[in-house]
Amino acid sequence: MFAPVLRVTKALKPQTAALSATLVFAGIAGGAYSYRIYNRFVREYQTHVRQKIGVLDSLNNSNTVRTLVNPHNHVTMGDSCSTILTTLPEQETPSDEVILSALVKGFFSGPVFMPERIALRLIGLRFVTFEGLEPTAQPIWKTSQLSSTQLPMKTAILWGCFQIANIELSNSKDGDNRSVVDIVFGTDREQFAGCHRFSVKRVEENSLTQKQPAQFQVQVESIICNPTVNKPISISFLGGFHKVYANLLFRDAVAEAMHRLSLSSA
């Protein structure tokens, strides 16, 4: 999840890259920032997160990956974070779009992404480009442009580095009733591209005769590859940082859903 920033930094002048790096690391290291993160996840929104290497076949075989991110079926790297959220008794079940909207807003507007968000906004450039995915929606540069109940429009670009590539909202109550939002980053014209997939799947439906708590599996999967050369992305030296950062970003997304929709963590 940190890889877009690495790509941006390499493309910039040394002075600008130094400023961006300073902003990012100063934000992460700041005492007030660290306390805010601790307070949010340890005291307010304690969540059991399952984190693992690899992504679902549904993402690997998706149109987003096959036609945009990895059209030549090159080697990929991926991981995912997931948890179960539950509605309160007698609570009206939120729609999949509302849950996904809260997840996306929390991911990009929370305190964890803040240093990266500030750096990208100061740079103010577009770094995400994919053939056949030209932006037609208004670009998003402010957290106030993200809604907790409505997803951004398809092709919208977030902070110059991420683009909404696909939205699928499931109406099915049987089988794989998974609703997804795919957000791509990088470019298919160079040596780095990837996708974040936000998904929600109903684990348990409300009873038809009595309102019972409904459960949802919420998940963020991330996949990256070199779309032009069939070789692995060399980021192993940052693996430990990525694991922690990915976990915290996911917790920010979940915290927003829990706060906005009065959901609890199973």
pLDDT digits (tens, 9 = 90+) for 122-158: 999 999 999 989 999 999 999 999 999 999 999 999 9
Percent of the chain's residues with pLDDT above 70: 76
- pLDDT for 239-248, tens place per residue? 678 888 999 9
Amino acid at 236: S
Mean pLDDT taken over the chain:
84
Backbone angles phi, psi at 11, to 5 degrees: -85, -5
> Please, which pLDDT band fits residue 5 given cuts at 50, 70 and 90?
very low
Number of helical H runs and strand E runs in the chain? 8, 8
> Please, which pLDDT band fits residue 89 given cuts at 50, 70 and 90?
confident
- Alpha helices for 110-238 (secondary structure H): 114-123
Distance in angstroms (rounded) separating the CA atoms of residues 17 and 9: 5
Query: What integer pLDDT is reported at residue 96 of this predicted model?
Result: 96
Query: What integer pLDDT is reported at residue 155 of this predicted model?
Result: 97
Backbone angles phi, psi at 258, to 5 degrees: -65, -40
